Amino acid sequence: MILKSARQAVCLRSALTALLLAPLATLAAPHVHAEETQSWLSKEERKPRPPAMQPFHKTSASTNYKCLFNYEGLIFCTFMKDKVPGTTGPEYIGAFIDKLKGTDVDAVMFCPQAWRTNIYPSEIDPRWRKYREGQNSTGGISMEQPGNYLGFDRIMKYIHAGGDPVQEALNASRKNGIDFFISYRMNDAHHIRDLDHATNTDFWRSHPEYWLGDSNISVTFKADEDNVRMHNYMLEPVRDWYFSIFEELCTNYDVDGLELDFQRAPRFFYNREMEEGKKVMTGFIQRIRVMLDRLGKERGKSLKLCVRVPETLAKCDRAGLDVARWDELGLVDMINMSPYYLESLHVDIEGFQAKTTKAKLYAELEAYSQVMPGPKGASYADRCRFTTLDSYRAAALNFLTRGADGISFFNFDYPIPLDKRAEAARGLKGITDTDYLRTLSKTYVMVPFQERLMAESNKWPKDEFTADVVIPDDTSKVEFSRAILRVETLGSSADLNLAASLNGKPLEPCEYEDTEFSPPVKATANGYPSADKLKFFTVPLADLLPGRNRFEVRNLDKAKSVCEIFTLELRLFRPEK
């Protein structure tokens, strides 16, 4: 191996020394008291957390879930979204789960990470022990979010003082009658361009020899690039480290299952080693399955294994994830099909159904519906558009009707202001009840599909766009007052003649009283269009089929000007009471 910098040489020497003195296999050894391993800790400092003790929460192999809710630890660390309160605590951590009581959510998928940082009292990753009063962590050379990272310091201080976010989230789940999973990111890509970023783990930072490469390339936008600072799962020390984390979490907490989050982000092998990598990853899944079965037998309960993977089997294959083989071998109980980050109806439920027979299938709904292109210098946050409750309901009905066993939510809380989260969560009651969903107004969002492994935005077709979409609503059985198609273009289309059709029948243009069908969850400077970028068409209710429908939009003035079509939205209006 050729070292690319003096920094790497130093890191490699340190790594080799550490490996000789303390092999990774010892990471999974029984816990010892802090003073036996870190002589500089005072007696008052927190001792390692003991393994979970009886009585254990009972779950059976027949337990099935309808609605999964991803709860990412980053949100309560006050990194960027919530500045009040400035410190965390059991009540604040539990509040994100308390609001779910009485909703359809029956499993919380708790991510004990803030990006890569582990935010629980870990012995495998004991960075929390290094906290010192008044420390001021920075973002290093981060291009995405420079400056101080007070949230990192706050959570490290909190854990150092005795706080345990995982146990506190688990307690809240038990109190509210919701089962509790750990959801762990298998290769998080945040801030990999910033070697000194506070939230990168010591393990990642100290072992560049475990990366696929060493460049400032963003894996999000160049998914086929090998030269990225992502962990290489072909290397046994990488797999051992992750396994030790999983074993620690599942041993020390009375969890009901483990979700392996392969979708944040799905790069694990060199492209040239992808076929061999699939076998290696399958072996790793087997190792985790054995560990879960052992713990489950000891505790008299069933520990389920869920995998969060790209939304098509083709993308899973490109990432070295042989999901169909995992199902064939009975290694996984749940498959969470995720379109990565942006809301999409293009979750290939039918494709997964054709290739899997054992695991339950979950289709994921995202909090962000689109990221708009914006003027130079516009921030990412200012270009976001957020998924409305009416769109969630439409997507849930679409997914469940097409054969998903359940649905899942990712990033649900992020766009919602702190004082509106409890109200928003009430919309999750009935979200898995197809009969109930059919009785509601809803908005189906059709976005041009893009076959990228990871997609933060979509490419937009020029002048013509065809959308095939399942509309499960039967307008002959449920009364709707009207249906309208909203066509949004990337640039102004005010002077262009656009034609739209449904199942081959032309639609008549119409006026609509606003630019949005539902009020935005939160307004952003560049996330929503002006009226000159919108066209509306009346959709005859009788022409909507209770099943697959085809919408087509064409620019009849393409000789005059090119028109990029951004998205289509079908709104079904129930009569006002």
Q: Are 234 and 277 in contact (CB under 8 A)?
A: yes
DSSP letter at 380 equals: T
pLDDT in tens, 467-506: 999 999 999 999 999 999 999 999 999 999 999 999 999 9
Q: Are 329 and 303 in contact (CB under 8 A)?
A: no
The reported pLDDT for the residue numbered 179 is 98
Query: Does residue 147 surpass a pLDDT of 60?
Result: no
The type of residue at 136 is N
pLDDT in tens, 163-215: 999 999 999 999 999 999 999 999 999 988 888 888 999 999 999 999 999 99
DSSP letter at 47 equals: P
Tell me how crowded residue 235 is: count the other CB atoms within 10 A of its CB.
16
Model confidence band, residue 316 (pLDDT cutoffs 50, 70, 90): very high
Q: Are 220 and 296 in contact (CB under 8 A)?
A: no
The reported pLDDT for the residue numbered 454 is 80
Q: Which residues pair with 68 in a beta bridge?
A: 107, 408
Query: Does residue 420 surpass a pLDDT of 80?
Result: yes
Q: What is the 3-state secondary structure (H, E, C) of 168-233?
A: HHHHHHHHCCCEEEEEEECCCCCCCCCCCCCCCCHHHHHCHHHECCCCCCCCCCCCCCCCCCCECC
What mean pLDDT comes out for the span 419-430?
96
Model confidence band, residue 245 (pLDDT cutoffs 50, 70, 90): very high
Model confidence band, residue 86 (pLDDT cutoffs 50, 70, 90): low
Model confidence band, residue 238 (pLDDT cutoffs 50, 70, 90): very high
pLDDT in tens, 270-315: 999 999 999 999 999 999 999 999 999 999 999 999 999 999 999 9
The reported pLDDT for the residue numbered 164 is 95
Which domains, ranges and CATH numbers included, belong to the chain?
A: 65-338 (3.20.20), 443-573 (2.60.120)
What's the mean pLDDT when you consider all of the chain? 88
